[in-house]
Structure 1
Amino acid sequence: MTVGAVTADGRARVLADGNQLPMLGLGVWQVPNGPVCVNAVRWALELGYRHIDTAQAYGNEESVGRALRDSGVPREDVFITTKFYPGHRDPVAEAEQSLRRLGVDQVDLYLIHWPQRGPTWAWPGMERARERGLTRSIGVSNFSAADLDKVATAGTVVPAVNQVQFSPFEDRRALLAACERLNVAVEAYSPLGTGRHLSDATVRRVAQRAGRTPAHVLLRWCLQHGIPVIPKSTHRERIAENAQIFDFTLSGADMAELDALDRTRGTDRALERGWW
Structure 2
Amino acid sequence: MADAQVTRKLSNGAEIPVVGLGVWQVPDGPECERAVAAALETGYRLIDTAQAYGNESSVGRAIRSSGIPREEIFLTTKFYPGKRDARVEAEKSLERLGTDYVDLYLIHWPQGGPTWAWPGMEAASEAGLTRGIGISNFGATELQELLKVSQIPPAVNQILFSPFDYRRSLVEACEDAGVVAQAYSPLGTGRHLDDPAVERIASATGRTPAQVLIRWAVQKGLSVIPKSTHKTRIEENFAVFDFELDEDAVSALDALDTTNQTPDALSRSQKWWS
With the length of structure 2 as denominator, give the TM-score of the two structures: 0.97
Distance in 1 (CA, whole Å) between partners of 2:61 and 2:30 is: 10
Pair 1:90-2:85 in alignment: yes
**Among 30, 45, 49, which residue is 1:35 paired with?**
30
Residue 10 of structure 2 corresponds to which residue in structure 1? 15
Residue 275 of structure 1 corresponds to which residue in structure 2? 272
Q: Aligned-pair distance for 1:20?
A: 0.8
Whether the aligned pair in 1 keeps the contact of 2:4 and 2:45 (CA below 8 Å) is: no
Residue 226 of structure 2 corresponds to which residue in structure 1? 231
Pair 1:253-2:243 in alignment: no
Residue 25 of structure 1 corresponds to which residue in structure 2? 20
Distance in 1 (CA, whole Å) between partners of 2:176 and 2:34 is: 39
* Superposition RMSD in Å: 1.1
Structure 1 pair 225–98 and aligned structure 2 pair: CA distance change class (3 A): same
Whether the aligned pair in 1 keeps the contact of 2:228 and 2:234 (CA below 8 Å) is: yes
Whether the aligned pair in 2 keeps the contact of 1:10 and 1:246 (CA below 8 Å) is: no
1:118-267 matches, within 5 Å, as 118-267=113-262
Q: Aligned-pair distance for 1:222?
A: 0.5
Length, aligned pairs only: 269
Question: Which amino acid counterpart does residue 11 of structure 1 have in structure 2?
Answer: V
Task: Give 4+ residue runs of structure 1 displaced > 6 Å after superposition.
Answer: none
Q: Aligned-pair distance for 1:158?
A: 1.4
Q: Aligned-pair distance for 1:139?
A: 0.2
Question: Which amino acid counterpart does residue 241 of structure 2 have in structure 1?
Answer: F
**Among 56, 71, 74, which residue is 1:76 paired with?**
71
Question: Which amino acid counterpart does residue 31 of structure 1 have in structure 2?
Answer: V
User: Which deviations, in whole Å up to 9, do the C-alpha atoms of 1:209-264 show, x marking residues without a partner?
Assistant: 11100001000000001101100001111101101001000001111111111000
SS of the equivalent of 2:132 reads: strand
Give the share of equivalent positions with the same residue, in percent. 61
SS of the equivalent of 1:167 reads: coil
SS of the equivalent of 1:147 reads: helix
Distance in 2 (CA, whole Å) between partners of 1:235 and 1:9 is: 19
Whether the aligned pair in 1 keeps the contact of 2:10 and 2:16 (CA below 8 Å) is: yes
SS of the equivalent of 2:225 reads: coil
User: Which deviations, in whole Å up to 9, do the C-alpha atoms of 1:191-216 show, x marking residues without a partner?
Assistant: 00000000000001111111100001
**Mind listing any 5+ residue stretches in structure 2 that lack a counterpart?**
none
SS of the equivalent of 1:163 reads: strand
Distance in 2 (CA, whole Å) between partners of 1:48 and 1:155 is: 35
Distance in 2 (CA, whole Å) between partners of 1:42 and 1:211 is: 28
Distance in 1 (CA, whole Å) between partners of 2:170 and 2:105 is: 20
With the length of structure 1 as denominator, give the TM-score of the two structures: 0.96
Q: Aligned-pair distance for 1:157?
A: 1.6
Whether the aligned pair in 2 keeps the contact of 1:112 and 1:140 (CA below 8 Å) is: yes
